[in-house]
Amino acid sequence: MLQSLMGKRGLLLAVTALALAALSGCANFPGTGNTTPAPTSPQPAATSTTSTLYYDFQDVPIPNELTLVRDDSQVFQGGSFKSGVLAFKGRVDQGSLIGFFTTAMAKDNWKLLGSIRHRRSALMFQKPDRLCMITIYEKIYYTHVEIHLMPTAVNQ
């Protein structure tokens, strides 16, 4: 009986150890990390006293509580034109992010066209030559933000 109980405990310990190893992933092992560089390094806002950063799009402010998700971000540049998607995550309340982007984008001369506020919120902004759609949604540990920037018309 004691041997059967020890066998069950040993099996339970082994299964628990394997589950913990699987959940921790292999990101800490050498050679398995992502070596793709970020689109660009964040630049602090020059005239702002708040914690605002700018990445590839110099008129799209990002709160410093968010970190860039490199694997989900891509920027296309052709001459002076840039478009693409920047993805971020952080432990920030979805409502406060909506408030931040609504206020900060207006300061950078973006016009709010409309918004959807639900589990997956979306804000649509416009400038004469570009559109910017910001989606905000929560997952288990983080709030995710995706910023899509695209042209409104192609010059001919």
pLDDT in tens, 13-59: 443 433 333 333 433 333 333 333 345 555 544 444 457 777 778 88
Give domain limits for the chain. Answer: 1-33, 43-151
Q: Which fold has domain 43-151?
A: TATA-Binding Protein (3.30.310)
Q: What is the pLDDT of residue 54?
A: 73
Bridge partners of 120, per DSSP, are: 137
pLDDT, tens digit, 9 for 90 and up, residues 80-112? 788 999 999 999 999 999 999 999 999 999 999
Q: For position 46, what pLDDT does the model report?
A: 43
What was the pLDDT predicted at 2?
Answer: 41
Query: What does the pLDDT read at residue 43?
Result: 52
Query: In the structure encoding, which two tokens stand for residue 139, read together?
Result: 């997952």
Instruction: Please say if the pLDDT value at position 125 is more than 70.
Output: yes
pLDDT tier, 77 (very low <50, low <70, confident <90, very high otherwise): confident
- Tokens 């432990």, residue located: 91
Task: Please say whether the beta carbons of 81 and 151 come within 8 A.
Answer: yes
Query: What is the model's pLDDT at position 39?
Result: 52
**Quick one: pLDDT at residue 132?**
95
Computed on alpha carbons and rounded to an integer, the radius of gyration of the chain in Å comes to: 22
120 closest CA partner among 102, 133, 132:
133
- DSSP output for 20-72: HHHHH-STTSTT-S--PPPSS--EE-SS-SSSEEE-SSTTSEEETT-EE-GGG
- Cα distances from 58 to residues 74, 111, 139, in angstroms, run 15, 16, 28
